[in-house]
Amino acid sequence: MMGWVMREAAYYEKLDNGSVRCTLCPHGCVLRQGSTGVCRARKNVDGRLFSLNYGHAASIALDPIEKKPLYHFHPGSLILSAGTFGCNLKCRWCQNWLIAHGDENTASDEKGGDSGTGDGNSRAWNHRGIRTYELTPEGLAGLAEEYADRGNIGVAYTYNEPTVWYEFIMDTARLVKDKGLVNVLVTNGFISEEPLEELLPYIDAMNIDVKAFTEDFYTRYCKGSLDHVRRTVERAAQSCHTEVTTLVIPGLNDSPEEIGELARWLASVDRNIVLHLSRFFPNYDMRHIPPTPIRTLEALKNSALEHLEHVYLGNV
């Protein structure tokens, strides 16, 4: 058994008085000893920054590639999908809020059942309601290879925000590539430039959430920044297959003008970037907003198609 693994973070700076600054994402969290970052997955332990979710999977499944969603990347294939806990944004409608916003907590250390990997013997921990299972990079890459005869093409890092699982993904992605399989990142795109550049050579496809196309929306509803996400999309499109998803929320980001601006910008990067306009359903802290009318999505799709070649509707 691995026990509770903490891997020293790849991107941080040591400061005075035992504090550290995380440089993985644009938040640049400054953490005193014992403090945890915005993502809830990185902690200052005795003046060093550690990843708390290394080797811990909250969910793992063999999914259709279209579920990521990636429609123009090996359509009809399957991909082994894995995620952990933590997220560096705070989207008020989050559909995976339990794993995204739960904290590490080792108060419960109990034998777990089947983690979905088929071994049935892995140890499970509870993280304030999140059950996670130990998972090594070698184990995940090996499982991806084992499932290749069932149509699996590689590994997708998804469910929560994968970039806060950075060290584990770097270690796994190298092994996956060595096996001739692909790596897919389903991400919010909120990552600093240097770690993104280090990761990109191992990533074959990305679906990036562009939550809206105004800085005010990101500040108010996501606690993030649009500018950094735009940079990630532009850089990813130069390096790997890239698709974009926008969840359309009634009254907040559903104007034809805004979606038109989003599509126009994407077209300036690459007119063939696939845009997914997804239907909102009440969740988390936005249970008071009704589902997106289908007619709204259809109208927005028509607006986006004035600029892009490929626009799809999701959850309709």
Residue 45, both tokens: 């332990």
Helices 256-269 & 226-239 angle (0-180, nearest 10): 40
289-294 mean pLDDT? 96
Strand runs (DSSP E) across 54-151, as ranges? Answer: 56-57, 59-64, 78-83, 108-111, 123-127, 130-134
Domain boundaries, the chain: 7-51, 56-314
pLDDT digit string (tens) for 210-258?
999 999 999 999 999 999 999 999 999 999 999 999 999 999 999 999 9
Residue 92 pLDDT class (50, 70, 90 cuts): confident
pLDDT digits (tens, 9 = 90+) for 34-72: 999 999 999 999 999 999 999 999 999 999 999 999 999
For residue 267, pLDDT over 90 is answered with yes
Contact 43, 12 (CB under 8 A): no
* pLDDT over 70 (residue 102): no
For 127-175, what is each residue's pLDDT tens digit? 555 678 899 999 999 999 999 999 999 999 999 999 999 999 999 999 9
For the residues 270-286, what does the mean pLDDT come to?
92
Architecture in CATH of 56-314 = Alpha-Beta Barrel (3.20)
